[in-house]
A and B are shown apart, each in its own frame.
Chain A
Amino acid sequence: MRVLTWLLLRAGSAAFMLLLGSLVVFLLMHAVPGDAALAALGDQASPDAIADFRRLHHLDDPLAMQFLAWLRGALRGDLGTSISLAGGFSTASLIAGSLPNTLFIGAYALLLALAISITAGSIAASRHGRVEDVLATSGAIVTISMPDFWLGYVLVLLFSLELGWFPAYGFTRPGESFLGALHSGFLPALAIAVPMAGIFSRMLRATLLETFRRAYVTSARVMGFGRAFVFWHYVFRNALIPYVTAIGLQARYLLGGVVVVERVFGVPGIGSVMVDGAFARDISVVQGCAVVFLLIVILVNLLVDLLCGLLDPRTAA
């Protein structure tokens, strides 16, 4: 019963968040100067052409009516049709064509960042104060300070133009060829992963070092367990909790924060659709993307809450 109430509450607040979020986005899009007619007509936007465009696309209807029309459609699963970004294409099709790419590159980058940071963080912590540690920590500082688009260009220069290992531009969708996606997605994923790995490995190193100093680690060493055994069984597992939290926080950035990298490598992602949609003042596209972002964030939060509840013995009961 308590679980049911909790679920209903969560669902209710999620629905409220979605409604509020889409309303805010709708009003913001109307508050910025410039409108879809100007975007679609460009410098051919004569007053007559603008008037025709606005009439054909119901842009002169009262705001409340426009929002209600959108809401009515959204409730039936129809997110509307683009008018000034990709005229005539449904918002749903634009999202369906781009969201999987973003999720793929995000997951790819996250895996690379995990692999790099676990290796670098562990080495740095276990070789505390030695050359390896200095190299890893200064490497992390450098990677954190690098802007990701700049890193993207450097990777293109090195791995595409000099070595010819990866394509300089363009992305093969995972649905067409998974290997092709792994290959063409490697550089963009790496460009996103490297600064993230810097953050993760610093985090991991710090928590590992802190755990090393714990009394139970010392007593384990005193009891005669080997260095490696103590590291894996006593230190590493305990240090993972803050590390995982940090990953959760970064995961949200992967949704929309990587537009610049998507641009450099030509990955057709949802972030680019939303940004281009905003520039084109295509309200239904921006609204649709915003709803998808909101849904994902709500789901991720729910997942994190559930996981925390399960992991923490104090709340598990």
Chain B
Amino acid sequence: MQRGNRIECGISKLQRSARASFNNGKILSLPDPERLPMTLSRRTLLGGATLLTAEAGGLRPFAAMAQPGAAPLRAAMTGFTTINTLDPGKAAINPEFYIIWGVFNTLVKFDAKMNVVGDLAESWTNPDATTWEFKLRQGVHFHDGSELTAEDVVFTFQRIADEKFGSPVRRKMAPLVSVEAVDAHTVRMKTDKPFAPLLTYLTNTRTSTQIVCKKAVLAMGDEQYGRTPVGSGPWKLTEWRPNEKLSFAAHTEYFERGLPKAPALEVMLIRDDSSAINALAAGGLHFVNAVPYGDTERVKRMASVAFSSMPGLNARFAQFNIQRPPFDDVHFRRAVSMSINRQAFVQAVVFGQAVPSQGYIPQAISWAYDREPRPYAQYNPQAAKAELAKSRYGADVEVVVYGMPDAWWKRMSEVFVDMVNRTLGTKFRVEFMDSRTHFQRWMANDGQCWPNGWIALCDPDEYLFDCFHSTGWRNFSKYSNPQVDSLLEQARQELDREAKGGPLYMQAERLIAEDCPSVFLMNTYSNSAVLKRVTGFDHTPFDGFGAQLAPMTVG
């Protein structure tokens, strides 16, 4: 496209002039990254060329930068504008972690197939079932130049465990009873009982276990650290405009050689996802992390854009209040579950961009994903009516489903209710309320049925123990099955996860599917769009965002 040509012209022109000045033995002075233009239009393109040299924090001869594609990367985070902290220990919501993943590192991480591999840890062993020993990589530097050692790791976990600090993951990390530095590059962790999900909770996902810089935290205090974080990750925060955008420079001492590829990064916080698609089409953005389901056809037709889609890490369902009529009756719950034609449901709600599901664990966690058909989670109108006949309640019972009014969530509630009513002849109706009110009511078990979902949970333990164990904190409706409890407790202690843990989770989920405390509906796709002239994007089921942007180059 014409626009692209213009960009290349601008770049090569600048490179010529830059080489000329370098040949004269000059070192270019660096522009203030705060002045990076926000929009990419013909006018700002000329200014945009100066971004090639954007490298906050120090001077650098241009020769190192004057490589093809050394242009700043501009990415959009859509649907959210709220970021309250960039302190991993304090962070809770997705947009905060999207940024944290690029600013910090963790001991281990997931590869594209969701196998755990080393990040800051080179290797790890289990001397016994409750001890974990991590060997740290040497020569890792924080953004302030200091070296990352075992002391920073210990500090990170002590901070999370401190009640006064108030980390949202304090309870989740409670099984971890001690973290100590054996030497400068060895860390030993102890859990009270064998705790298999530990490795997942140390990955660079929504874990809060990203390693913070002890020196920087102590120097600036917790509050300030959340606004000017010092991590070891590929991106170094240079400016944060609340509710608008964040700017980053490449961390030149990043331990993975050659990363990040782009010299600078801007992340726009865009509330309206269709606007982000427009900006992508106009060339003002290089990467959009979420494409609304209604826009995918349009994005696929765009010549300059590569669209990418795969089942994500999520579970979408309709949760029952099993304490109140009519959902306190297992036959009524089964009748509802079997009255949903999930294939048609997926078509109607997200235009086919989901996998119909019969459990919570998504297929991306392949070792715990059960492919065997579960009768009560299959569409079967005859059996559904038979279950209804066995139930204490008739089709005339009054049911109000609490729905969320945003985007496809609205369709999700409507289609769900419509399918149930058509199959069973019931009189379900939907009442909409904003998503926070909805969540609050669901947490308080105030209502009858809530179509909702969990996203970005990475471990089967989070999907099943948290949601269905009688003590799980996400088990708002107090589902309790002693057999399920015991299987989940066993799975939690089984360190050989793939061979032995997986079958335990599958068995537990099968029992849950028979009790139907929730109607399993679908596992939606994660959709991304990136300009074709940008290389290095690797789509993963867990959204890597900040980390995913490191290998990307604007061509």
Interface residues of A (CB under 8 A from B): 32-34, 38-49, 52-53, 55-56, 82-89, 93-94, 97-98, 153, 156-157, 160-161, 164, 166-172, 176, 179-180, 183-184, 263-266, 268, 272-273, 276, 279-281
Contact = CB atoms under 8 A, between A and B. Distances in A.
Contacts of B2: 164
B221 to A, nearest CB: 11
A34 B41 contact: no
A88 B223 CA distance: 7
B93 A44 contact: yes
Which of B35, B166, B226, B270 has the most chain A CB within a 10 Å cutoff? B166
B39 A172 contact: yes
A180 B43 CA distance: 8
Given A39-B436, A171-B39, A268-B244, A44 B92 contact: yes
B244 A263 contact: no
A167 B39 contact: yes
Contact of B279 (A42, A98, A168): A168
Q: Which 7 A-B pairs have the closest CB atoms?
A: A87-B84, A86-B242, A34-B436, A169-B279, A52-B166, A170-B39, A167-B39
Given A43-B455, A280-B82, A33 B272 contact: no
A209 to B, nearest CB: 41
Contacts of A279: 434, 436
Contacts of B226: 87-88
B44 interface: yes
Interface string B274-288: 111011011011000
Contacts of B81: 272, 276
Interface string B28-52: 0000000101111111100000000
Given A43-B454, A167-B284, A153 B274 contact: yes
A88 to B, nearest CB: 5
B270 A160 contact: no
Given A45-B443, A164-B2, A168-B282, A53 B39 contact: no
Contact of A34 (B44, B274, B437): B437
Interface string B156-177: 0000000100111111100000
29 contacts: A34-B434, A41-B92, A41-B168, A42-B94, A44-B92, A45-B443, A52-B166, A52-B170, A53-B166, A55-B166, A82-B84, A86-B242, A86-B243, A87-B85, A88-B227, A97-B241, A164-B2, A164-B42, A168-B279, A169-B284, A169-B285, A170-B279, A180-B44, A263-B272, A264-B272, A266-B268, A266-B270, A276-B81, A276-B82
A106 to B, nearest CB: 18
B473 interface: yes
A43 B439 contact: yes
Given A53-B166, A86-B82, A168-B281, A272 B270 contact: no
B342 interface: no
A203 to B, nearest CB: 32
A266 B241 CA distance: 13
A84 B282 contact: no
A93 B240 CA distance: 12
A41 B276 CA distance: 25
Contact of B82 (A34, A45, A85): A85
B350 interface: no
B475 to A, nearest CB: 11
Classify the interface of chain A: helix, strand, loop or mixed: helix
Contacts of B84: 40, 82-88
B243 A183 contact: no
A49 B275 contact: no
Nearest to B285: A169
Contact of A281 (B3, B168, B436): B436
B271 interface: yes
B83 interface: yes
A52 B163 CA distance: 8
Given A38-B436, A49-B170, A86-B82, A161 B455 contact: no
A168 B437 contact: no
> Which one of A43, A85, A170 has the greatest number of beta carbons of chain B within 10 Å?
A170
A33 B271 contact: no
B261 interface: no
B510 to A, nearest CB: 25
A40 B87 CA distance: 13
B440 interface: yes
Nearest to A264: B275
Contact of B85 (A48, A88, A161, A179): A88
A74 B268 CA distance: 31
Q: Chain B's interface: helix, strand, loop or mixed, by majority?
A: loop
Contacts of B37: 172, 180
Contacts of A85: 82, 84, 242-243
Interface string B430-453: 000110110111010000000000
B243 A47 contact: no
Interface string B71-99: 00000000001111100000011100000
Given A87-B85, A88-B227, A46 B171 contact: yes
Nearest to A164: B3
Interface in B404-454: 433-434, 436-437, 439-441, 443, 454
Task: Name the residue among B38, B281, B439, B454 with the largest chain A CB count within 10 angstroms.
Answer: B38
Given A55-B166, A264-B275, 13 more contacts: A34-B440, A38-B439, A48-B170, A88-B84, A88-B85, A88-B224, A94-B242, A160-B282, A170-B279, A171-B38, A184-B39, A263-B272, A266-B275
Contact of B166 (A44, A56, A176, A280): A56
B168 A49 contact: yes
B243 A33 contact: no
B278 A160 contact: yes
A267 B503 CA distance: 52
A40 B92 contact: yes
A183 B41 contact: yes
Contacts of A264: 272, 275
B443 to A, nearest CB: 7
A46 B171 CA distance: 9
A183 B443 CA distance: 48
B206 interface: yes
A263 B275 contact: yes
Contact of A272 (B163, B243, B276, B473): B243
A33 B440 contact: yes
A41 B92 CA distance: 5
A114 B314 CA distance: 51
Contacts of A39: 82, 436
A166 B3 CA distance: 12
A161 B277 CA distance: 11
A168 B284 contact: yes
Nearest to B224: A88
A169 B206 contact: no
Contacts of B167: 49, 52
Nearest to B441: A33
A266 B227 CA distance: 23
A266 B35 CA distance: 17
A266 B455 CA distance: 27
